[in-house]
Amino acid sequence: MEGPPLLEVDGVTRRFGSLVANDDVRFTVPRGGLIGLIGPNGAGKSTLFNLIAGVFAPSAGRIVFDGTDITRLPAPARCALGIARTFQVVRSFNAMTVLDNVLVGALVRDADTRAARFRAHEMLVFTGLDGRARALAGELTSPEKRRLEMARALATRPKLLLLDEVMAGLTPTEAREGIELVRRVRASGITVIMVEHVMEVVMPLVDHAIVLDLGRVIASGRPDAVVRDPRVIESYLGAGHA
Amino acid sequence: MTAQIVLQVLLSGLLMGLIYALVASGLALIFGLMDVVNFAHGDFLMVAMYALFVLVAMSGADPLLLAPVVTLVLFAFGAAIYLGIVRFAMRVQTNRGMVQVFTTFGLGLLLQGLAQTIFTPDYRSVDGGIVAGKSVALGGIILPMPHVVGALISLAAFGLIWLLINRTDLGKALEATREDADAVALVGIDRNRVFAIGWGLGSALVGLSASILATFFYIFPGVGNSFVLIAFVTVALGGFGSVYGALAAGVLIGLIEAMTALLVAPSLKMLGVFAVYLAVVTFRPRGLFGSM
Amino acid sequence: MAQPQTIPAPITAFTSRRRRQLAVALAVALALALLPLAVADVFVMNILVLTILFASLSQSWNILGGYCGQISLGHAVYFGIGAYVTVALFVDFGILPWFGMLAGAAIAVVLALALGYPCFRLAGHYYTIATIVIAEAALLLVANAEWTGGAVGLQLPFAPDSWATLQFGRTKLPYYYLALGLAVATWIVSWVIEDTRAGYWWRAVNSDIAAAQSLGVNVFRSKMAASAVSAFFTAVAGGVYAFFVSYIDPTSVMSFHISLLISLPAVLGGIGTLWGPALGAIVLIPMGELTRSYFGGTGLGTNLIVYGVLVMAISLLRPQGLVSLVHLFVPRRA
């Protein structure tokens, strides 16, 4: 891949008290890439995700996005620079309509509510939620809510989209639709990082996988190579299976 | 201003502060346990004072002897309020912020309205019993007996809370629920029961403090309003939800109040307390003694 | 992506809903403008003025409490500032109340921002508690200050009827139209806010802070802005109220009871809705006035019981407020 990377995570460490959730994590994400961030429970995936999204700052290290050092930047400023995210536990604005939920995302790029509303509707069409535009977000089913999170994030016109376990709890049919949606997002030129706990979901989809265990990167590379890495197998299955 | 006056003021402030700490302890306990502010806290205090008033009128017994009864009555009252009302407010999905404030707030209005209707807005007082009108003299410093006894009871109560939390199974259940209410359900602790007991205990502490206050303070339907402000400030200063923080903060508030009355003007004594509150909120939003 | 050829159905539906809201408001305002033709009684007129004034106040409160979700129980501060500044400027310097109200509103906005700086870093309950404490501190200060007349308060001097000085000795009618004008203004401001970027951001902050932040919303600035708008109109209404009653003292314009009367209509009628505050005021204010005049001192007890039961019932059974009951008869989104 050519050109400077879109995202550069440079020796990032995050401590919570005496617990080291991320330990000297470093990797780069090329423009247009689709990256899987995987690892067993407690591997530090969520912490890393939140560090990139700007929920909290690292204890040490640097994060550079699109040439800007964003290490200390709060979440709203990162959104303005072009980082969007979904939440593992969905966070819809339940009392607002589906269309208004997505509109909130669109407004960061467009102060004119009418133009933003059109943009929001396009995102609903893109995610297949346009039929539910006027429902209250609280009335959606949980797969619909996951799509809504995606539509809302896309409405911010991100360069980088962070997906936090968007496939969790979906039926196989829903998951297939989800994967299709992620592919279309990527095809529209947006770089995607997916955090998933279940390897089977991400591996066929991503072009690069990063495996975390106990806060460290233990493997990084093409998915087919990564799944054969003894350390990865050991971390998922426990010692003895390697 | 002589040293003796200063000492007199500081000691009176200390005694009042210990009583304020007890008034706030129930609020802190409930808040710490379940992250709910009882906006009817002051009205619970008012209910307890009227309960004591009625009990004294009926039995003619000494108010301090009846304090344990009021404490028990308030335990039942608090647990019932949780089970009958607050429990449902915690389940609401829409407008949660509003619901959590206004459920207990509405309850407070209702209790005040009932008190107005039943007891009229008149000021009442209970006969202070054995402590009434007495005082303790220490080398020229005179301290009213009700305040001295009240402060001692407050210290004893904080000692009992410490024993309860650190030395009993119930205390362990409370601590565990406080730390992670969802996880305790997995180890077989009935969260609702713990919360009900928490509301009972918090309200019992209100009952105890009301019994002390009633020996030297008037009883009227709005009596809770003045004390609840002090309780809010105490809890905010002490670090929300910390019972021991409330003890330290209560003493601090008693001292600030007394010194403001001495140095500025008695009518502005609360202003010193409010000023300290604003300063703390600005510079230490989690309170003086709050962790994290 | 190109602009769509035809406007999508959800967007046309939204636009026509906005127009309908405006049409309903126009009809209501016209009906209210004509209402005095049918009302001659001074007592009834008094209640009408208060009801409309508190509908407007609660609508202002709703901008911060309803849209932005910051539950203030200390709005009496802004109300009191509006009342005191307007009256004091008129009594001491002869400044016309029209300018006095603007001055009061400006001071209220500055205060709202100054207090917001520490308070808006507090979440949820912590913020509500801070508003109660601050209002109480302000009450204490006003009751002990000289320019406010202390506990005695301020009395407007007797003057001939005039729209310039907003003094009318013989009739309450001008105050009725003044209150109505203010209510229409706050309603329109709310209506406009509902479809602005700030309005959507405020509701996002109310609903989920983390999600709002991830979508580029500056939470602190949103709360500050909502607070400033809310304080502005609350203070203007305080000025109108002061000239309506012509005598103010600390308890009548700055006590906790005022904060209650400002917040409860919105809570009862429907927090964060366009018509909730007005609906709540129509239920609460006349009831309060009637019980007070018929039961006298014990009326306050009755009022508190009814307020308490209504507020609890709404919180537990119908948190969307009374206005949501209307949808039982009228479909929500036609």
The confidence score (pLDDT) of residue C150 equals 86
Same domain for A162 and A54? yes
| Strand A216-221 with B135-138, pairing | unpaired
Question: Six-digit token pair at B222?
Answer: 């709005």
Q: What is the pLDDT of residue A84?
A: 96
Total domains in the fold of chain C: 1
pLDDT band at C19 (very low <50, low <70, confident <90, very high): very high
Amino acid code (one letter) for B119? F
pLDDT digit string (tens) for C251-300? 999 999 999 999 999 999 999 999 999 999 999 999 888 887 777 666 67
Q: In what order do the strands lie in the sheet with A160-164?
A: A83-85, A160-164, A191-196, A34-38, A208-213, A216-221
Instruction: Tell me what the mean pLDDT of segment A222-235 comes to.
Output: 85
**Which of C23, C61, C15 lies closest to C270 in space, CA to CA?**
C61
Residue ending a domain, among A97, A126, A157, is: A157
CATH code where residue B99 lies: 1.10.3470
Which of A157, A185, A216 corresponds to the end of one domain?
A157
CA C85, distance to chain mean position in Å, is 18
Q: Which two tokens stand for residue A232?
A: 């990865």
Q: Which of C62, C129, C261, C298 to mutate to test the interface with B (most CBs of B within 10 A)?
A: C129
Domain count, chain B: 1
Q: Is residue C45 part of a domain?
A: yes
**B291 domain-assigned:** no
Domain interval for residue B75: 3-283
**Is residue B288 pLDDT above 90, yes or no?**
no
Q: Is B245 a member of any domain?
A: yes
Query: Contact at 8 Å (CB) between B33 and B198?
Result: yes
Please state, for a pLDDT cut of 90, what percent of chain C lies above it. 72
**Number of CB pairs, chain B paired with chain C, less than 8 A apart:** 146
Give the count of domains, chain A: 2
Quick check: C10 and A100 CB within 8 A?
no
pLDDT of residue C334: 39
- Inter-chain CB proximity A118 and C11 less than 8 Å: yes
Contact call for residues B259 and B9 (beta carbons, < 8 A): yes
pLDDT at A242: 41
- Say whether both A72 and A169 belong to one domain: yes
Is B289 within the bounds of a domain? Answer: no
**Does residue B31 fall inside a structural domain?**
yes
Test mutation, C139, C206, C271, C305, chain B, max B CBs within 10 A: C305
First and final C-alpha spacing in chain B:
41
Measured CA distances, B151 to B78, B157, B161, B244, B257 (Å)? 24, 10, 15, 15, 16
Please give the pLDDT value at position C140. Answer: 92
Per-residue CA distances from A97 to A104, A111, C161 (Å): 11, 19, 50
**Single-letter amino acid code for the residue at B268:** L
Which residue among A113, A121, A152 sits closest to C8, beta carbon to beta carbon? Answer: A121
List helix spans (H) across B120-242.
145-167, 169-179, 181-186, 191-214, 223-238
Chain A hits for B93, Cβ within 8 Å:
94, 138
Mean pLDDT of the residues in chain C:
91
For residue C161, the model assigns a pLDDT of 82
- Residue whose C-alpha is closest to residue B85's, from B110, B67, B65: B110
- pLDDT band per the 50, 70, 90 thresholds, residue C45: very high
**Residue that terminates a domain, selected from A98, A128, A157:** A157
DSSP classification of residue A70: -
- What is the reported pLDDT for B187? 72
The arithmetic mean of pLDDT across residues C96-106, rounded, is 96
CA distance C102 to C86: 8
- pTM of the full structure: 0.92
Amino acid found at B149: V
What token pair was written down for C94?
């002869």
**% pLDDT > 70, chain A:** 97
Residues of C with CB under 8 A from a CB of A: 1, 3-4, 8-11, 13-14, 195-197, 200-201, 203-204, 207-208, 210-219, 272, 333
How high is the pLDDT of residue C152? 87
Strand positions, DSSP E, chain B: 135-138, 141-144
Q: Is residue C25 part of a domain?
A: no
Q: How does pLDDT run across B258-277, given as a tens digit for each residue?
A: 999 888 888 888 888 999 88
CB count within 10 Å of CB C222 equals 24
Distance from CA of B94 to the nearest CA of A (A): 7
d(C-alpha B89, C-alpha C312), whole Å: 9
Taking an 8 Å cut-off on Cβ atoms, the answer to whether C308 and B108 are in contact is yes
Please write the tens of the pLDDT for every residue from C132-148.
999 999 999 999 988 88
The answer to whether residues A218 and A239 belong to one domain is yes
Boundaries of domain holding A24: 1-82+158-242
- Mean pLDDT, to the nearest integer, of A28-45? 90
Amino acid C268 reads: L
- Total residues found in chain C within this entry: 334
Q: Using the predicted structure, report yes or no on whether residue B109 has a pLDDT greater than 90.
A: yes
Residue A31, pLDDT above cutoff 70: yes
Q: Is residue C60 part of a domain?
A: yes
Average pLDDT over residues A6-24: 91
Residue of A38, A20, A34, A36 lying closest to A211 (CA atoms): A38
Q: pLDDT at position A70, please?
A: 95
Q: Check B274 against C125: CB less than 8 A apart.
A: no
Residue C26 within a domain: no
Instruction: Give Cα separations from C144 to B289, C100, C137 (angstroms).
Output: 32, 22, 11
Instruction: Decide if C254 contacts C210 (C-beta within 8 A).
Output: no
Tell whether C208 is covered by a domain.
yes
What is the mean predicted confidence (pLDDT) over C137-161? 88
Do residues A166 and A148 both lie within one domain?
A: no
Burial degree of B54 (CB within 10 A; 0-12, 13-18, 19+): middle
pLDDT at position A241: 47
Mean pLDDT of all residues in B24-39: 90
Per the DSSP assignment, residues forming a β-bridge with C134 are none
Q: Can you tell me the distance from the alpha carbon of C267 to that of A91, in angstroms, rounded to the nearest whole number?
A: 24
Beta pairing partners, A163:
A194
What's the pLDDT score for residue C101?
Answer: 96
Domain containing C102 equals: 40-255
CB contact at 8 A, A168 and A190: no
Would you call C151 helix, strand, or coil by DSSP? coil
Distant-in-sequence, close-in-space partners of B80: CB < 8 Å, separation ≥ 6:
none
> Residue C329: inside a domain, yes or no?
no
Query: Distance between CA atoms of A202 and A194, rounded to whole angstroms?
Result: 8
pLDDT for residue B292:
35
The interface predicted TM-score of the complex, written ipTM, equals 0.92
* C230: Cα within 13 Å, side-chain hemisphere: 33
Domain presence at residue B292: no
